């Protein structure tokens, strides 16, 4: 199996990804070529494929607010990881069936966790400061973004988000497309390290960071269109996706650092 996609770090590709208004579909074909890959657990791989298909279904359910969709996807990843850790992968199908039940939305609405997005995103941005900068201008730009977003306190931050959300209804669509992109690109690679939950956390953290970078742009310009959103996404992607070290740093932190647990992520949804 070989999977191919555009890369968000290309400005033109970013605009194509974020400018797509329809739910993303993936085209498949078979050919006669034979290729050799590293040995991996084929049973785990089939369950990762099944999990990813369900994740796409949940993410693209546009009758549900995107914050709930993201919460359900991350919770699914958490529960799926537990099955892997306890060597009970045979229970995966029953787990997936639970997340396809009609009452799943009501459950997550009732269990919604109240947290401080402001505090959590400050922690996420601090991780960016630990990374190898690939663009010499990035550290100063990152510092400017952090100062603008978090330098005036939580109330100012909340008010800015309230204004942005009212002015930019497209943010739900952009969030969906970004999450689908990151899940498609990285989730099934966990067949090699058995850490799909870590890769989902990395995907969601990337989306949350891009959202806040876009907020800073909105605060500066007073508007946000798909071109500006694409430029924001490609700037982030260029610093993270083009460095194996940076991506591994994120995944390791989200796997081992208690500051980035499930409840912390769930409490940071808009």
Residue of 37, 256, 5, 207 whose CA lies nearest to 248: 256
Mapped onto helix, strand or coil, the DSSP state of residue 70 is helix
Residue of 254, 219, 227 whose CA lies nearest to 240: 254
- Find the DSSP H helices in the chain: 11-19, 42-59, 66-85, 92-99, 104-110, 117-128, 138-150, 154-167, 171-186, 196-221, 226-240, 244-256, 262-266
Q: What is the pLDDT along the chain (270 residues), one digit of tens a residue?
A: 888 889 999 999 999 999 999 999 989 888 888 877 777 899 999 999 999 999 999 999 999 999 999 999 999 999 999 999 999 999 999 999 999 998 888 888 888 888 999 999 999 999 999 999 999 999 999 999 999 999 999 999 999 999 999 999 999 999 999 999 999 999 999 999 999 999 999 999 999 999 999 999 999 999 999 999 999 999 999 999 999 999 999 999 999 999 999 999 999 999
Give pLDDT, residue 36.
77
The model carries a pTM of: 0.95
Residue 156, both tokens:
């100012």
Residue of 241, 66, 29, 61 whose CA lies nearest to 168: 66
C-beta separation of 117 from 270 below 8 A: yes
Residue of 222, 236, 225 whose CA lies nearest to 124: 236
Give pLDDT, residue 102.
83
Residue 259, both tokens:
């500051």
Give pLDDT, residue 54.
98
C-beta separation of 260 from 253 below 8 A: yes
Question: Any idea what DSSP says for residue 113?
Answer: P
């Amino acid at each position: 199996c070989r999977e191919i996609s555009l890369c968000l770090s290309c400005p033109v590709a970013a605009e194509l990804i974020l400018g797509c208004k329809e739910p993303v579909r993936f085209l498949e074909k078979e050919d006669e070529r034979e290729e050799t890959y590293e040995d991996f657990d084929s049973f785990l791989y089939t369950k990762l494929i099944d999990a990813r298909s369900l994740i796409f279904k949940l993410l693209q359910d546009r009758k549900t607010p995107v914050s709930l969709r993201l919460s359900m996807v991350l919770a699914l990843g958490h529960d799926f990881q537990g099955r892997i850790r306890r060597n009970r992968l045979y229970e995966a199908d029953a787990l997936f069936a639970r997340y396809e039940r009609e009452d799943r939305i009501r459950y997550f609405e009732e269990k919604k966790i109240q947290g401080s997005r402001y505090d959590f995103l400050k922690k996420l941005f601090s991780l960016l400061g630990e990374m190898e900068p690939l663009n010499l201008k990035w550290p100063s730009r990152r510092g400017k973004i952090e100062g603008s977003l978090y330098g005036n306190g939580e109330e100012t931050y909340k008010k800015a988000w309230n204004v942005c959300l009212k002015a930019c209804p497209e943010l739900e669509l952009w969030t969906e497309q970004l999450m689908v992109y990151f899940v498609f690109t990285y989730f099934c690679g966990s067949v090699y390290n058995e850490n799909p939950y870590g890769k989902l956390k990395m995907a969601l953290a990337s989306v949350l960071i891009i959202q806040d970078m876009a907020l800073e742009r909105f605060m500066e310009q007073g508007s946000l269109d798909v071109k500006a959103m694409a430029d924001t996404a490609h700037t982030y992607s260029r610093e993270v996706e083009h460095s194996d070290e940076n991506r591994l740093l994120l995944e390791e932190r989200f796997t081992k650092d208690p500051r980035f647990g499930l409840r912390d992520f769930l409490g940071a949804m808009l």
